[in-house]
Amino acid sequence: MSADADSPADDAEAPLAASERIAALDVLRGFALLGVFIMNMPAFSHSLFTVPEIPPRLLDAIVAGLREMLFAGKFNLLFGLVFGIGFAIQMARLDAAEAARAARLGNAPRRHRATQVYLRRLAFLFVIGLVHAMLIWSGDVLLVYALVGFALLALRRLDDRALCVLIAACLVFPALTEALRVAMVSRGFETVATFQYQQFEASNDLAYGRGSFLDAVRETARVFNWSWRSPFGLFMYASFFVQMATGILVGFVVGRRGWPKRPLADAAAERRAPRTALLVAIGCGLIEVAAFAWGGEAGLFASAFARTIGRASLAACYALVVVRIVRDQRELPRWLRPLSDAGRMPLSNYLLQTAMATFVFYGWGLGLWNSVGAAAEVGLAVVLFVAVQLPLSHLWLKRFRYGPLEYLWRRFTYGSAPR
Tell me how many helices (H) and strands (E) the chain has: 16, 0
| The pLDDT of residue 400 is above 90 | yes
Domain limits, the chain: 18-414
pLDDT at 110: 78
DSSP 255-276: HHTTTTTS--S-HHHHHHHHHH
Residues whose CB is less than 8 angstroms from the CB of residue 263 and which lie 6 or more positions away in sequence, other chains included: 270, 327
Cα angle 81-130-40, degrees, rounded to a multiple of 5: 55
pLDDT at 90: 87
Question: 222-231 burial string, b = 16+ CB within 10 Å, else e?
Answer: ebbebbeeee
Give the model confidence (pLDDT) of 372-397 as tens digits: 999 999 999 999 999 999 999 999 99
Give the model confidence (pLDDT) of 206-235 as tens digits: 999 999 999 999 999 999 998 888 877 787
Give the model confidence (pLDDT) of 131-182 as tens digits: 999 999 998 999 999 999 999 999 988 999 999 999 999 999 988 887 777 6
Give the model confidence (pLDDT) of 285-321 as tens digits: 999 999 888 877 788 889 999 999 999 999 999 999 9
374 in Cβ contact with 57 (< 8 Å): no
DSSP 277-326: HHHHHHHHHHHHHHHHHH-HHHHHHHHHHHHHHHHHHHHHHHHHHHHHHH
pLDDT at 260: 62
217 in Cβ contact with 136 (< 8 Å): yes
Residues whose CB is less than 8 angstroms from the CB of residue 59 and which lie 6 or more positions away in sequence, other chains included: 373, 375
| The pLDDT of residue 334 is above 90 | no
Torsion of CA 402, 405, 407, 408, to 10 degrees: 180
Give the model confidence (pLDDT) of 74-92 as tens digits: 999 999 999 999 899 888 8
**Backbone torsions φ then ψ of 13, nearest 5 degrees:** -75, 140
Half-sphere exposure of 308 (CA within 13 A, CB side): 25
Q: Which residue, 342, 413, 371, 341, is CA-closest to 118?
A: 413
Lowest mean pLDDT among 10-14, 39-43, 130-134, 222-226: 10-14
Cβ neighbours of 329 (radius 10 Å): 10
**Model-level pTM greater than 0.85?**
yes
Q: What is the mean pLDDT of the chain?
A: 86
User: Which residues pair with residue 13 across a beta bridge?
Assistant: 10
Q: What is the mean pLDDT of residues 49-55?
A: 84
pLDDT at 267: 66
Cβ neighbours of 127 (radius 10 Å): 14
Radius of gyration of the chain, Cα coordinates, nearest whole angstrom? 22
User: What is the spatial distance between Cα 29 and Cα 19, in angstroms, rounded to a whole number?
Assistant: 18
Percent pLDDT > 90 in the chain is 57
